[in-house]
Every structure is written in structure tokens, then in C-alpha cells.
Chain A
Amino acid sequence: MAVETKWAFDRETVKSWSEKRNEPTWLQEKRLEALTNAASLPMPKPDKTKLTRWNFSTFENIDSDQRAIESYSDLPGDVARLAGEESKVNSAIIQRDGKVAHKKVAEELKEKGVIFTDFETAVNEHSDLLEKYFMGEAVRSDENQLTALHTALVNGGIFLYVPKNVEVEVPLQAIFWQDDVKVGLFNHVLIVAEDQSRVTYVENYVSFEKEKAAANIVTEVYVGQGAEVKYGAVDNLESGVTSYIVRRAHVQKDGRIEWALGQMNEGSTISENTTHLLGDGSYGDTKTVTVGRGDQVQNFTSNMVGHGKHSEGYILTHGVMKDEASAIFNGINKIEKGGTKAHSEQTGRVLMLSSKARGDANPILLIDEDDVTAGHAASVGKIDPMQMFYMQSRGLSKLEAERLIIHGFLEPVVGELPVEAVKERLSEVIERKVY
């Protein structure tokens, strides 16, 4: 039984693996502690989805013996296309099963003191920074069994550090490619944007094999005072992959984060995106689009939590559901006591393309402060027949009209993605998933 597999990673295995990677003591200890705790920690409890029958442990290895791919042109076409033409790539890190397959970082970034590197290198070269932030305030290791396992087994990812007052003009790109289904994808993205800095980051998760596999993904973003982070993502893991994805941000005074998440996994997915607006005047905006198809089961939670005064938090979720797919969309706007003059808003819309699909938009406002403004709108429905009549009356066939309406419905995220190749690729994925 696969459930037993994860405990095959005992202390000794993890310890020797960590040693082999020359990891600092603090990380090894953190891994071992998490591994010990994992067994007794509860599973995460996403609202309205029971995880009792989900299997996040269908992996046999955490270490891939893949080597780096020598030249860009040797990357598989489907992977290279995500980054675009080599000549146009400014800074990108492509990983296969947690190992760097290709890495290109612009010289000017290094000159500015920006660190953009893979997790393994970061652990060795920037141990102090990692120790400070990795599985820190945003995502605690002992939060649940899966976060603990993540800490224990993390085997890939990115570290992005932008020093104070530094603005990075070009979008930085990461591609995480799960090639070997036997290797669990324990991927960690850590972004630290110091005060008054600015950066745009975009990532793709991709796999091509339909066999059973597991992904346990954590992102932590720490946004300093007055800093601005734009975070784009396209998740497109294949149907056999069971995914647990947590992306969280902590935003200090006057800081901003904008998330644009294209959640296009084909398999069972639990995805949580949380922004803590800690500082006064902080701003968070999270846009999520998804297409559910086949018999996949998904749960998406978007959290916007206002702690500081005058914070602004926005959630937009658009989902298209077809076939027998089902999805829960939890949108939670929370304003803590003391968050006066905060403003929080959410829109959740689900478009049902099949009578057998299920979509549940679940808006929640939790307000512990009187002096705030908040609003929400949620709807679940079919394509508006009047829209269809209107578009067809201009000569568009039923199929073309539907296509335009669906692409338009998902445009809020597609339009936000900062890299043209990623944008095009997401449009293609939408096209493929819908038709």
C-alpha cells in the first residue's frame, strides 16, 4: 500500500541524503524534526473537501539522478517553449525533478545584489538567509502533515532575494518540470523582497506523464515595506499527479503583492493561496483561473487577511467546469481586529459547461473590526444564452462564440502574466482543456 511508502523515508535515509547534499546542520535538523513530527500531525483540512482518500505519497524517490542539460536546444520542445526563444530569455531557471536542467541569470542582477538561484545552491551559499525565512512565519513546518513532509523532503525550488531599493525590470522565470513520476515533487519557492524593492516572478509547473505521481509545493513570499512583488504562475501537472500547493505572502507596510494564478492541473489538486496584509496600507490582489475537466477533483482556497490599517485586499476567482470535474472555490476575506479602514473584496464566478460537473463558489467574509468596507459577489451558472445569441447574431458559430466567452472569462489571469511565452502557453492549455 502506497500510504506506507512515505515512512520508508526514515531518519537515516533523510540524514544521509542531507549529508550527501552538504546541507548545513540547521537544515538537516529541521528536516529530521519535521519528519519525526509528520506522523502525529493532522492532514490539512480544506473547507468542503475530505482528504481521507487522497494519496499524496505516490512517490518512491526524492532524489533524481538526472544531470543538467548541456544546451538550451537539448531541452524538450514543450519545456523550452515555456521560456520562449533562448535569445529572448533574460533570466530563467529550469528544473527537472528538482535538479537544475538549465540556468541563466543576467549579469546585471548579480551586480545589483539580486540572488536568483536554485534551492540547493541557495542552501549552501546563502544559508543564513534561508535559515531566517525557509518554512518560517508564512508556512510553518508543523502546520500539518503535508507541510511537515515538505520540510523533511524538499528537493527542489528557487530562492529569490531582492535587496533594499533594488528594482528588477525584467520578469524572472522558473520552470519546474516533473519528468520522473517516481520522484516526488517537493518544490519550494522562497521570495524575499526587501524594503522598497520591486520584482516580477513567473513560474510554470509542468509534467507530461499520466502515471500516478505526487507534488507537495510551498511558496513563501516576504514583501518588505513599500516593496512590490508580482507573482505569476501556471500549474499544469498531468492527470496522475495529486498536488498539494500552498502559496503565501506576508506583506509589510505599504507593500504590494499581485498574484496571477493559472491553475490548470489535470489531476486532483488542493491549492491554497493566502496573503497576510500585515502592515498599514498594504495591498494584496489575487486572481485565479482554472478549468476542471475529466473526473478531477479540486479545492481552491483564496485567503486575504487584513491585519494592518488601511489595507486593501482583492480576490478574483473564475472557474470553468466541464465533464464530470468537481471543484470547491473557497474565497475568504478576513479583517482582524485593529485593521481599521481596511477594504476587502471578492468575486467568484463559476461557469458550468456540463450538467455532470460540480462547482461550488463559497464566499466567506470574516470581519472582526467595525470600521471597514467589504464586499463579495459569487455566481455559478451556465453560459448566458443572451451572450450566445448576441455573438451568433454577428455570424460567430456556436463553438466560436463559446470559445471567445470562455477565453474572455479566463482573461483576467492570462492578461496579467508578464512573459509572452507563458501567456501564449496558458492560452493553449485553456484551449486544450476546454476543447
Chain B
Amino acid sequence: MTASTLTIKDLHVEIEGKEIVKGFNLEISGGEIHAIMGPNGTGKSTLASAIMGHPSYEITKGSVSLDGEDVLEMEVDERARAGMFLAMQYPSEVTGVTTSDFLRTAINAHREEGDEIPLMKFIKKMDKNMETLDMNEQFSTRYLNEGFSGGEKKRNEILQLLMLEPKIAILDEIDSGLDIDALKVVSNGINNMRGESFGCLIITHYQRLLNYITPDHVHVMMQGRIVKSGDASLAQRLEAEGYDWIKEELGIEDERVGQEA
């Protein structure tokens, strides 16, 4: 499989008339891991959801393309089938639908009719990935996210990532609410995906996750756009010194969206 490229140009996103993302630019290619860091309220999660096509977010300006195809013209499911994936911060619960049935339907949605994944192959793949993520086998027969703990939901998101093998994945605060053991397990799962055909955008508050998944690029988001980029060492500096030096350097008083002086 060849490397794909997701290109985001001058993206502006509004929620209920309020602009949250203001001129965001980034290119993510297969083989690369990007991390977006930044304090609360700087537009990180809005960016992630908007790229995937969240129904409440309106894109007012800019473009998103995957290997030259206009992503913004695609329905949510078309984006997924084109190879995009969003691990959500708050995944929905779906009663009456087992995790296993859901995943099999999702995998088959990515395949041609008549070329459905054989049941045994699916089960093997599922077992293998659940083992990687140290998940109890009962997981697959429980209803999707229903009654799952926060940590279980996050593992389930990564399980879906491993099962669907997207070209470009966006992980929205996949580390929040995870204890250190779970964090290691989840990181291990994501590292398993690393390779030329997989590009990833990790959105996080904390540098902690990046101890386990070394990013190629680190970006700091403030006021709805990237204000600074660097390599993995930038994340370490942020951990040690916080964000104030960036604000000082750029003359930003309040990093949150809508607080631009």
C-alpha cells in the first residue's frame, strides 16, 4: 500500500456562528506521526471532528483533501471508506449492537459487496488485536460502548483503529482518562500501526503519551491555528516549561479562541 497524504489548507470552522478554527494548515503523509498540543479551548478537538464531518460543525473556508480528493465534498462514511479514521474523545454508546457485529459491519462496509471478510478470518483478527490491547474477550460480545468505563472506551477506539487499518487516523485525546498501564497498552497498539502506509495526527494535552509514541512533528495550537511547530523535542520543552514562553514569544495574552487582542 502506498502512502497517502491528507492536506488541510486555511481551514476555518464555526459552531453555531462562532468561529473556533481560524486558518489551520497542515499536511500529514503516510509514515508520519504528528502531534498537536495546546491548552484547553484552543480548537484542537473541533479541528479533529470537523475534518471527519461532525454534523454540528460548519466549515466556512479552506480545504481538506486526501490524495487530491476533496474530503469536504464527501459524506462522513465516504471519508471513512476513503481511508480516514477518527478515534473519538467521547464515543457514542449503541445499545443492542455488539462490538463484534459493529466491527464486522464496518469492515465489510470498506469491502466490495460479495467480498465480505470470512467469519473465521474476522475472529482471528479480532482475537489478535484484542490480545495486543490486553482486552477481555467478553468485550466483543458486549453492546458497543454501553456501560464501558472511560478506559475501556478508549481501548475500543484503538481496537477499531487496528481492525479498520485506515490510511490516516486522527486520535482525539485518546490518552485522557487512561492510567499509566492502559496508556502503555494503547500506545503499543498505535505503534503497531506505524509504517509507510499509516499517517497519524495525535491530539493531546499531555506530553506523557508522546513518551510512548515518538512523534515526527509536534505542533502547538492556540487561538484556532498552529502557532509553532517543531520535532519531538518541542513536546519535551512544553512539558518542562509549559506554554508561557510561546505566548511571550508570539505576544499572545490569552491562548483561547476568541481572546485575540
Binding site for B on A (CB under 8 A): 384-398, 400-401, 404-405, 407-412, 415
Contacts and interface: CB of A to CB of B under 8 A. Distances in A.
Ordered nearest first, which 6 A-B pairs have the shortest CB separation?
A: A408-B96, A411-B96, A395-B80, A392-B76, A408-B97, A395-B109
B206 interface: no
Nearest to A349: B95
B251 interface: no
B218 to A, nearest CB: 25
Contact of A396 (B53, B54, B96, B105): B105
A400 B97 CA distance: 12
B109 A396 contact: yes
Interface string B75-114: 1110111000110100110111100011101100110000
A394 B160 CA distance: 8
Contacts of A415: 96
Contacts of A412: 96
B143 interface: yes
B52 interface: yes
A404 B92 contact: no
B55 A385 contact: yes
Contact of A394 (B54, B95, B164): B164
Contacts of A392: 53, 75-77, 80
A410 B160 CA distance: 25
A78 B54 CA distance: 44
Contact of B96 (A386, A395, A410): A410
A111 B77 CA distance: 59
B102 A404 contact: yes
A355 B53 CA distance: 25
Interface of B: 52-56, 75-77, 79-81, 85-86, 88, 91-92, 94-97, 101-103, 105-106, 109-110, 143, 160, 164
Contact of B105 (A384, A386, A404): A404
A262 to B, nearest CB: 14
Nearest to B144: A408
A411 B53 CA distance: 29
Contact of B97 (A384, A385, A397, A404): A404
Contact of B80 (A394, A407, A408): A394
A384 B145 CA distance: 15
Nearest to B88: A390
A384 B102 contact: no
B92 A387 contact: yes
29 contacts: A385-B55, A388-B55, A389-B55, A389-B76, A390-B92, A391-B102, A393-B85, A393-B88, A394-B85, A394-B102, A394-B103, A394-B109, A394-B164, A395-B80, A395-B106, A395-B109, A396-B77, A398-B77, A400-B105, A400-B109, A404-B102, A404-B105, A405-B94, A408-B97, A409-B95, A409-B96, A410-B96, A411-B95, A411-B96
Contacts of B94: 387, 390-391, 404-405, 408
B50 to A, nearest CB: 12
Contacts of A407: 96-97
Nearest to B145: A390
Most buried by A among B77, B88, B101, B160: B77
Contacts of B110: 395
A393 B86 CA distance: 7
Contacts of A397: 77, 109
Nearest to A409: B96
A387 B160 CA distance: 16
B81 A395 contact: yes
B97 A394 contact: no
Contacts of B143: 408
Nearest to A399: B77
B64 to A, nearest CB: 15
A56 B94 CA distance: 40
Contacts of B106: 391, 394-396
A39 to B, nearest CB: 47
A385 B103 CA distance: 19
B215 to A, nearest CB: 23
B54 to A, nearest CB: 6
Contacts of B81: 395
B28 to A, nearest CB: 17
A393 B76 contact: yes
A396 B95 CA distance: 17
A405 B92 CA distance: 11
A398 B85 CA distance: 17
A387 B96 CA distance: 13
Contacts of B76: 389, 392-393
Given A405-B97, A407-B97, A410-B96, 7 more contacts: A384-B92, A388-B55, A389-B76, A393-B77, A394-B102, A404-B101, A415-B96
Contact of A393 (B52, B102, B103, B105): B52
Nearest to A406: B96
Contacts of A400: 105, 109
Contacts of B102: 391, 394, 404
Contact of B77 (A385, A395, A404, A410): A395
A427 to B, nearest CB: 12
A290 to B, nearest CB: 15
Nearest to A396: B109
Contacts of B105: 396, 400, 404
- Which residue, of A388, A391, A395, A397, has the highest number of chain B Cβ atoms within 10 A? A395
Q: In the complex, which of the residues B88, B91, B97, B105 has the most CB atoms of chain A within 10 Å of its own CB atom?
A: B97
Interface centre among A387, A394, A408 (most CB of B within 10 A): A394
A415 B95 CA distance: 12
Contacts of B96: 407-412, 415
Contacts of B77: 392-393, 395-398, 401
A357 to B, nearest CB: 21
A248 to B, nearest CB: 28
B74 to A, nearest CB: 11
Contact of A390 (B56, B91, B101, B103): B91
B47 to A, nearest CB: 15
A351 to B, nearest CB: 11
Nearest to B143: A408
A409 to B, nearest CB: 6
Contact of A389 (B53, B95, B164): B53
A398 B74 CA distance: 13
B80 A398 contact: no
